[in-house]
Structure 1
Protein backbone atom coordinates (compact mmCIF):
# COMPACT_ATOMS: atom_id res chain seq x y z
CA UNK A 1 0.00 0.00 0.00
CA UNK A 2 1.18 3.48 -0.90
CA UNK A 3 0.33 6.93 0.39
CA UNK A 4 0.99 10.52 -0.45
CA UNK A 5 0.21 13.74 1.34
CA UNK A 6 -0.51 16.88 -0.65
CA UNK A 7 -0.98 20.41 0.58
CA UNK A 8 -4.42 21.81 -0.28
CA UNK A 9 -6.29 25.01 0.61
CA UNK A 10 -8.31 22.89 3.07
CA UNK A 11 -5.19 21.42 4.71
CA UNK A 12 -3.05 18.36 4.03
CA UNK A 13 -4.79 15.63 2.04
CA UNK A 14 -3.41 12.13 2.52
CA UNK A 15 -4.46 9.39 0.11
CA UNK A 16 -3.78 5.67 0.60
CA UNK A 17 -4.09 3.31 -2.36
CA UNK A 18 -3.60 -0.39 -2.86
CA UNK A 19 -1.53 -2.00 -5.60
CA UNK A 20 -4.11 -1.45 -8.32
CA UNK A 21 -4.65 2.21 -7.42
CA UNK A 22 -7.98 1.89 -5.58
CA UNK A 23 -8.36 4.35 -2.72
CA UNK A 24 -8.44 2.55 0.62
CA UNK A 25 -8.48 5.68 2.78
CA UNK A 26 -8.08 9.42 2.46
CA UNK A 27 -8.47 12.36 4.74
CA UNK A 28 -7.48 15.92 5.43
CA UNK A 29 -4.70 14.96 7.83
CA UNK A 30 -1.22 13.49 7.95
CA UNK A 31 -0.87 9.74 7.47
CA UNK A 32 -1.18 9.03 11.21
CA UNK A 33 -4.74 10.38 11.08
CA UNK A 34 -5.72 7.48 8.85
CA UNK A 35 -4.68 4.85 11.42
CA UNK A 36 -8.33 4.00 12.25
CA UNK A 37 -8.74 2.80 8.66
CA UNK A 38 -5.42 1.28 7.58
CA UNK A 39 -2.29 -0.10 9.22
CA UNK A 40 -0.03 2.91 8.67
CA UNK A 41 3.06 0.83 9.54
CA UNK A 42 2.57 -1.06 6.26
CA UNK A 43 2.42 2.05 4.07
CA UNK A 44 5.15 3.33 1.77
CA UNK A 45 5.28 7.05 1.02
CA UNK A 46 5.35 8.41 -2.53
CA UNK A 47 5.22 11.90 -4.00
CA UNK A 48 1.91 10.94 -5.56
CA UNK A 49 -0.22 7.83 -5.82
CA UNK A 50 -1.06 7.93 -9.50
CA UNK A 51 -4.58 8.47 -10.73
CA UNK A 52 -5.97 9.20 -7.27
CA UNK A 53 -3.49 12.05 -6.76
CA UNK A 54 -4.13 13.41 -10.25
CA UNK A 55 -7.89 13.29 -9.69
CA UNK A 56 -7.63 15.08 -6.33
CA UNK A 57 -5.51 17.84 -7.86
CA UNK A 58 -7.92 18.19 -10.78
CA UNK A 59 -10.83 18.42 -8.34
CA UNK A 60 -9.01 21.17 -6.45
CA UNK A 61 -8.36 22.95 -9.77
CA UNK A 62 -12.09 22.98 -10.50
CA UNK A 63 -12.85 19.68 -12.26
CA UNK A 64 -15.37 18.49 -9.68
CA UNK A 65 -16.00 15.23 -11.57
CA UNK A 66 -12.35 14.17 -11.61
CA UNK A 67 -12.78 12.13 -8.42
CA UNK A 68 -15.83 10.24 -9.70
CA UNK A 69 -13.99 7.57 -11.69
CA UNK A 70 -11.32 6.76 -9.10
CA UNK A 71 -11.98 3.29 -7.68
CA UNK A 72 -12.54 3.08 -3.93
CA UNK A 73 -12.29 -0.05 -1.81
CA UNK A 74 -13.31 0.52 1.81
CA UNK A 75 -13.13 -2.28 4.34
CA UNK A 76 -15.46 -3.45 7.06
CA UNK A 77 -18.61 -1.71 6.05
CA UNK A 78 -21.18 -4.45 5.82
CA UNK A 79 -23.96 -4.48 3.26
CA UNK A 80 -25.74 -1.22 4.13
CA UNK A 81 -22.61 0.87 4.67
CA UNK A 82 -21.01 -0.36 1.45
CA UNK A 83 -24.20 0.46 -0.44
CA UNK A 84 -24.49 3.86 1.28
CA UNK A 85 -20.89 4.73 0.33
CA UNK A 86 -21.69 3.87 -3.30
CA UNK A 87 -24.77 6.10 -3.10
CA UNK A 88 -22.69 8.97 -1.67
CA UNK A 89 -20.61 8.88 -4.83
CA UNK A 90 -23.74 9.75 -6.83
CA UNK A 91 -24.56 12.94 -4.89
CA UNK A 92 -23.66 15.72 -7.34
CA UNK A 93 -21.00 18.25 -6.43
CA UNK A 94 -22.56 21.52 -5.37
CA UNK A 95 -25.90 19.87 -4.57
CA UNK A 96 -25.67 18.70 -0.96
CA UNK A 97 -28.41 16.55 0.52
CA UNK A 98 -29.66 16.17 4.07
CA UNK A 99 -29.14 13.03 6.13
CA UNK A 100 -32.86 12.34 5.63
CA UNK A 101 -32.51 12.64 1.84
CA UNK A 102 -29.35 10.53 1.89
CA UNK A 103 -31.15 7.78 3.84
CA UNK A 104 -33.92 7.80 1.23
CA UNK A 105 -31.40 7.68 -1.64
CA UNK A 106 -29.79 4.68 0.05
CA UNK A 107 -33.18 2.93 0.10
CA UNK A 108 -33.80 3.17 3.85
CA UNK A 109 -35.72 6.41 4.37
CA UNK A 110 -36.38 5.84 8.10
CA UNK A 111 -32.72 4.97 8.76
CA UNK A 112 -31.39 8.50 9.20
CA UNK A 113 -29.00 7.44 11.95
CA UNK A 114 -27.63 4.64 9.78
CA UNK A 115 -27.05 7.16 7.00
CA UNK A 116 -25.19 9.39 9.45
CA UNK A 117 -23.09 6.37 10.50
CA UNK A 118 -22.17 5.78 6.86
CA UNK A 119 -20.76 9.29 6.77
CA UNK A 120 -19.01 8.93 10.12
CA UNK A 121 -17.37 5.63 9.13
CA UNK A 122 -16.37 6.75 5.64
CA UNK A 123 -12.63 6.12 5.25
CA UNK A 124 -12.29 7.72 1.81
CA UNK A 125 -13.08 11.40 2.27
CA UNK A 126 -13.27 13.42 -0.94
CA UNK A 127 -13.59 10.30 -3.13
CA UNK A 128 -16.70 9.25 -1.17
CA UNK A 129 -17.99 12.78 -0.63
CA UNK A 130 -19.67 12.61 2.77
CA UNK A 131 -19.04 16.36 3.03
CA UNK A 132 -22.08 16.72 0.74
CA UNK A 133 -24.46 15.61 3.50
CA UNK A 134 -25.99 18.20 5.83
CA UNK A 135 -28.28 18.17 8.83
CA UNK A 136 -31.99 18.32 8.10
CA UNK A 137 -32.00 22.02 9.07
CA UNK A 138 -29.27 22.71 6.49
CA UNK A 139 -26.42 23.21 8.96
CA UNK A 140 -23.11 21.43 8.49
CA UNK A 141 -23.39 18.68 11.08
CA UNK A 142 -20.22 16.73 11.72
CA UNK A 143 -17.16 15.90 9.64
CA UNK A 144 -14.22 13.80 10.79
CA UNK A 145 -11.74 16.29 9.31
CA UNK A 146 -13.36 19.35 10.89
CA UNK A 147 -16.15 21.71 9.96
CA UNK A 148 -13.79 24.29 8.38
CA UNK A 149 -12.68 21.62 5.87
CA UNK A 150 -16.29 20.62 5.17
CA UNK A 151 -17.25 24.28 4.66
CA UNK A 152 -14.25 24.81 2.34
CA UNK A 153 -15.20 21.77 0.21
CA UNK A 154 -18.84 22.85 -0.07
CA UNK A 155 -17.86 26.44 -0.92
CA UNK A 156 -15.33 25.20 -3.48
CA UNK A 157 -17.99 23.08 -5.19
CA UNK A 158 -20.44 25.99 -5.23
CA UNK A 159 -17.87 28.41 -6.62
CA UNK A 160 -16.88 26.30 -9.63
CA UNK A 161 -20.24 24.75 -10.48
Structure 2
Protein backbone atom coordinates (compact mmCIF):
# COMPACT_ATOMS: atom_id res chain seq x y z
CA UNK A 1 0.00 0.00 0.00
CA UNK A 2 1.14 3.52 -0.77
CA UNK A 3 0.48 6.21 1.81
CA UNK A 4 1.04 9.96 1.73
CA UNK A 5 2.54 12.38 4.19
CA UNK A 6 2.63 16.09 4.74
CA UNK A 7 4.17 18.38 7.33
CA UNK A 8 2.73 21.74 8.31
CA UNK A 9 4.06 24.37 10.66
CA UNK A 10 2.03 24.90 13.82
CA UNK A 11 2.49 27.23 16.80
CA UNK A 12 3.91 24.29 18.76
CA UNK A 13 6.20 22.94 16.04
CA UNK A 14 6.03 20.94 12.81
CA UNK A 15 3.11 18.51 12.59
CA UNK A 16 3.36 15.53 10.24
CA UNK A 17 0.51 13.30 9.15
CA UNK A 18 0.62 9.97 7.30
CA UNK A 19 -2.59 8.98 5.53
CA UNK A 20 -3.72 5.91 3.62
CA UNK A 21 -4.65 6.27 -0.05
CA UNK A 22 -8.28 6.88 0.93
CA UNK A 23 -7.30 9.72 3.27
CA UNK A 24 -7.67 7.92 6.63
CA UNK A 25 -5.03 9.01 9.14
CA UNK A 26 -2.57 6.23 9.96
CA UNK A 27 -0.23 8.29 12.15
CA UNK A 28 0.40 11.87 13.15
CA UNK A 29 2.37 13.97 15.57
CA UNK A 30 4.51 17.00 16.25
CA UNK A 31 7.59 15.95 14.33
CA UNK A 32 9.18 17.07 11.07
CA UNK A 33 9.78 13.50 9.85
CA UNK A 34 7.80 10.38 9.09
CA UNK A 35 10.62 8.35 10.64
CA UNK A 36 9.05 9.07 14.04
CA UNK A 37 5.62 7.96 12.81
CA UNK A 38 6.09 4.81 10.76
CA UNK A 39 7.13 2.58 13.69
CA UNK A 40 3.91 3.36 15.59
CA UNK A 41 1.64 2.25 12.73
CA UNK A 42 0.41 -1.31 13.28
CA UNK A 43 2.28 -3.75 11.05
CA UNK A 44 -0.91 -4.77 9.28
CA UNK A 45 -1.51 -1.13 8.30
CA UNK A 46 2.08 -0.02 7.71
CA UNK A 47 2.50 1.24 4.14
CA UNK A 48 5.15 -0.19 1.82
CA UNK A 49 5.80 3.30 0.47
CA UNK A 50 5.11 6.85 1.68
CA UNK A 51 5.09 9.73 -0.77
CA UNK A 52 5.37 13.30 0.44
CA UNK A 53 2.83 15.89 -0.61
CA UNK A 54 2.57 19.60 0.13
CA UNK A 55 -0.81 18.96 1.73
CA UNK A 56 -3.41 16.27 2.31
CA UNK A 57 -6.67 18.06 1.56
CA UNK A 58 -9.22 17.85 4.39
CA UNK A 59 -6.64 16.44 6.82
CA UNK A 60 -4.23 19.36 6.38
CA UNK A 61 -7.10 21.84 6.50
CA UNK A 62 -8.30 20.29 9.78
CA UNK A 63 -4.81 20.44 11.34
CA UNK A 64 -4.46 24.11 10.43
CA UNK A 65 -7.98 24.96 11.60
CA UNK A 66 -7.46 23.20 14.94
CA UNK A 67 -4.23 25.07 15.62
CA UNK A 68 -5.96 28.32 14.60
CA UNK A 69 -8.62 27.75 17.27
CA UNK A 70 -11.34 25.66 15.58
CA UNK A 71 -11.00 22.84 18.11
CA UNK A 72 -13.61 20.55 16.55
CA UNK A 73 -11.99 20.67 13.09
CA UNK A 74 -10.28 17.29 13.54
CA UNK A 75 -13.38 15.45 14.81
CA UNK A 76 -14.69 14.29 11.44
CA UNK A 77 -11.38 13.03 10.07
CA UNK A 78 -11.25 9.26 9.63
CA UNK A 79 -8.54 7.45 11.58
CA UNK A 80 -7.37 3.90 10.98
CA UNK A 81 -5.66 2.05 13.84
CA UNK A 82 -5.86 -1.53 14.98
CA UNK A 83 -5.31 -3.35 18.25
CA UNK A 84 -7.21 -5.50 20.73
CA UNK A 85 -10.82 -4.87 21.67
CA UNK A 86 -10.17 -2.72 24.77
CA UNK A 87 -7.57 -0.51 23.09
CA UNK A 88 -9.82 0.06 20.06
CA UNK A 89 -12.74 0.97 22.35
CA UNK A 90 -10.46 3.26 24.36
CA UNK A 91 -9.38 5.08 21.19
CA UNK A 92 -13.04 5.57 20.25
CA UNK A 93 -13.74 6.95 23.74
CA UNK A 94 -10.81 9.38 23.43
CA UNK A 95 -12.52 10.93 20.43
CA UNK A 96 -15.49 11.79 22.67
CA UNK A 97 -13.49 13.65 25.35
CA UNK A 98 -14.34 17.30 24.71
CA UNK A 99 -11.70 19.98 24.30
CA UNK A 100 -11.13 21.94 27.48
CA UNK A 101 -12.38 19.10 29.68
CA UNK A 102 -9.46 16.73 30.25
CA UNK A 103 -10.19 13.45 32.00
CA UNK A 104 -8.07 11.42 34.39
CA UNK A 105 -6.59 8.06 33.48
CA UNK A 106 -8.91 6.52 36.11
CA UNK A 107 -12.02 8.13 34.63
CA UNK A 108 -10.83 7.28 31.13
CA UNK A 109 -10.58 3.58 32.08
CA UNK A 110 -14.15 3.71 33.39
CA UNK A 111 -15.40 5.48 30.26
CA UNK A 112 -13.75 2.74 28.19
CA UNK A 113 -15.72 0.13 30.12
CA UNK A 114 -13.03 -1.25 32.44
CA UNK A 115 -12.72 0.89 35.58
CA UNK A 116 -9.96 -1.31 37.02
CA UNK A 117 -7.86 -1.15 33.84
CA UNK A 118 -6.10 2.16 34.51
CA UNK A 119 -2.75 0.88 33.23
CA UNK A 120 -4.39 -0.48 30.09
CA UNK A 121 -6.08 2.88 29.55
CA UNK A 122 -2.71 4.61 29.89
CA UNK A 123 -1.34 2.04 27.43
CA UNK A 124 -4.05 2.99 24.93
CA UNK A 125 -2.80 6.57 25.11
CA UNK A 126 0.80 5.46 24.70
CA UNK A 127 -0.05 3.26 21.68
CA UNK A 128 -2.15 5.89 19.93
CA UNK A 129 -0.51 6.58 16.57
CA UNK A 130 -2.94 9.32 15.51
CA UNK A 131 -2.20 12.12 17.96
CA UNK A 132 -4.53 15.11 17.76
CA UNK A 133 -7.16 13.17 15.78
CA UNK A 134 -7.42 10.73 18.72
CA UNK A 135 -6.77 13.29 21.47
CA UNK A 136 -4.80 11.33 24.03
CA UNK A 137 -3.40 14.65 25.27
CA UNK A 138 -6.75 15.17 27.03
CA UNK A 139 -5.95 12.45 29.58
CA UNK A 140 -4.11 13.58 32.70
CA UNK A 141 -3.27 12.17 36.11
CA UNK A 142 -5.83 12.27 38.93
CA UNK A 143 -3.73 14.86 40.75
CA UNK A 144 -3.96 17.20 37.76
CA UNK A 145 -0.38 16.66 36.57
CA UNK A 146 0.18 15.93 32.92
CA UNK A 147 1.38 12.33 32.90
CA UNK A 148 3.19 11.34 29.71
CA UNK A 149 2.93 12.29 26.05
CA UNK A 150 4.92 10.94 23.10
CA UNK A 151 5.44 14.44 21.69
CA UNK A 152 6.66 15.94 24.96
CA UNK A 153 5.04 17.58 27.94
CA UNK A 154 5.50 21.14 26.58
CA UNK A 155 3.36 20.16 23.55
CA UNK A 156 0.75 18.52 25.81
CA UNK A 157 0.64 21.63 28.02
CA UNK A 158 0.26 23.88 24.95
CA UNK A 159 -2.61 21.73 23.61
CA UNK A 160 -4.47 21.73 26.93
CA UNK A 161 -4.00 25.49 27.30
CA UNK A 162 -5.09 26.00 23.68
CA UNK A 163 -8.30 24.08 24.40
CA UNK A 164 -9.13 25.87 27.65
CA UNK A 165 -11.73 28.61 27.24
TM range (shorter): over 0.9
Please report the TM-score for the alignment, with normalisation by the length of structure 2.
0.92
Moved over 6 A (4+): none
Matched, 1:67 2:59: no
- 1:2 counterpart residue number: 4
Q: Pick the aligned partner of 1:110 from 106, 113, 116.
A: 116
Structure 1 alignment gaps of length 5 or more: none
What is the distance in 2 between the residues matched to 1:36 and 1:136?
30
Q: Pick the aligned partner of 2:34 from 27, 31, 35.
A: 31
What is the distance in 2 between the residues matched to 1:86 and 1:101?
15
Matched, 1:54 2:61: yes
Number of positions where the alignment pairs a residue of Structure 1 with one of Structure 2: 158
| C-alpha contact (below 8 Å) 1:59/1:65 kept by paired residues | yes
| C-alpha contact (below 8 Å) 1:34/1:40 kept by paired residues | no
- RMSD between superposed Cα atoms in Å: 1.2
Please report the TM-score for the alignment, with normalisation by the length of structure 1.
0.94
Structure 2 alignment gaps of length 5 or more: none
What is the distance in 2 between the residues matched to 1:95 and 1:157?
8
Question: Helix, strand or coil for the counterpart of 1:19?
Answer: coil
| C-alpha contact (below 8 Å) 2:5/2:50 kept by paired residues | yes
